[in-house]
Amino acid sequence: MKFLDQAKIFIRSGNGGAGCVSFRREKYIAFGGPDGGDGGRGGSVYAECVDGLNTLIDYRYQQHFKAGTGTHGMGKNRSGAAGADVTLKVPVGTQIFDEDNETLIADLTEVGQKVTLLEGGNGGFGNAHFKSATNQAPRHANPGLTGEEKWIWLRLKLIADVGLVGLPNAGKSTFLSSVTAAKPKIADYPFTTLHPGLGVVEMDGEGFVMADLPGLIEGAHEGTGLGHRFLGHVERCSVLVHLIDGTEESHSIEDAWHTIRNELEAYGQGLSEKPEILVLNKIDALAPEDLEEKTARLTALAGKKPFLMSGVSHDGVAEVLRAARRQVNIAKGWEEPEDDDLEISEEGWRP
């Protein structure tokens, strides 16, 4: 299934049915009086969060959704039927924006949530509604109200507890595949991951969701590479796990750290302020002296000691997962934070 996390669609609620002008006509009954029924209500447009969806691909092939028109009223006091409603089924984590793509209409984060996007037009009153002692034979009825229409944006932001960020080929997909049942594409060339992937980590009887994002490069906020739009999928994360390829040269490691931090800062939305677990990855391919030198460089640069890990040999993986789980529990209020909990010092990185 193709991953699609943004779609623009047109929605329209139904018009209300018109009221009816009618009079009772039966044999032996003279002047039966008005009996025109009311028109039916127009259909409304709803959005509902459902289980079993993880992409907006359905809205790639259909972009127009129109609710039904209410049926007109009829004689013998028969009211028209209401128009059919339209319900847009969206995955968990979908945000709905107005046409300007900035005004938030709804944020659906739980299965079963349902919001009204457009109300259908009310049906018009039939002439039976207007009868009175002074107007016993009204010869007018109301037309139904016109429905509403607009363009809206659907934007999916995955619900994950932990987000993996880093340059291309930092080992994010390998790490995700080694700790979850997810099977992301893994290869020895950049930009192997083209779409975000999710996996569930089970550890010590507890579980949390981890998201693997496509690699970022310098200038991603300006559209370089795959851009940084995918960072929207980690806006809801409690903690970011920043993986750095330990097989790079020392100066490249420093550049890699600066690049990711700068891109997080440029993206905004509070990502640069989230707790960060810094990980020096691929340590199984490093000589002891190289590992010591690069660890010292990263510690001086970031103001905290990085975790040492290898997604292939599983060295240090458990420590990283426990640190990530602790941050998730702190964010949910299940644990109390400590002074040394993954804080970036003032002397650390500079944008």
The CATH number that applies at residue 144 is: 2.70.210.12
More confident of the two residues 342 and 322: 322
pLDDT tens-digit series, residues 198-254 = 788 887 777 888 888 877 766 555 555 445 667 777 788 889 999 998 888 877 888
Instruction: Kindly report which listed range (85-94, 100-109, 194-203, 282-291) carries the lowest average pLDDT score.
Output: 194-203
Provide the residue range defining the domain that includes 98.
1-156
More confident of the two residues 294 and 217: 294
How far apart (Å, rounded) are the C-alpha atoms in residues 311 and 97? 39
Q: Are residues 104 and 12 in the same domain?
A: yes
More confident of the two residues 248 and 75: 75
Q: Given pLDDT bands bounded at 50, 70 and 90, which one contains residue 344?
A: very low
Q: Are residues 152 and 123 in the same domain?
A: yes
The answer to whether 349 touches 335, Cβ cutoff 8 Å, is no
The answer to whether 324 touches 277, Cβ cutoff 8 Å, is yes
**Structural domain total, the chain:** 2
What are the E-state strand segments in 206-285? Answer: 206-212, 239-245, 276-281
- For residue 346, is pLDDT > 50? no
pTM of the model: 0.74
pLDDT at 263: 83
54-58, 66-70, 211-215, 233-237: which is most confident: 66-70
Q: Are residues 279 and 178 in the same domain?
A: yes
Q: Are residues 88 and 107 in the same domain?
A: yes
Q: Are residues 261 and 314 in the same domain?
A: yes
Using the 8-state DSSP alphabet, how is residue 209 labeled? E
Give the domain-ending residue among 110, 131, 156: 156
Torsion of CA 84, 90, 95, 101, to 10 degrees: -70
Q: State the average pLDDT for the chain.
A: 85
How far apart (Å, rounded) are the C-alpha atoms in residues 217 and 201? 27
Q: Which residues contact 194 (CB under 8 A, 6 or more apart)?
A: 214, 226
Average pLDDT value for residue range 20-30? 90
Q: Are residues 1 and 116 in the same domain?
A: yes
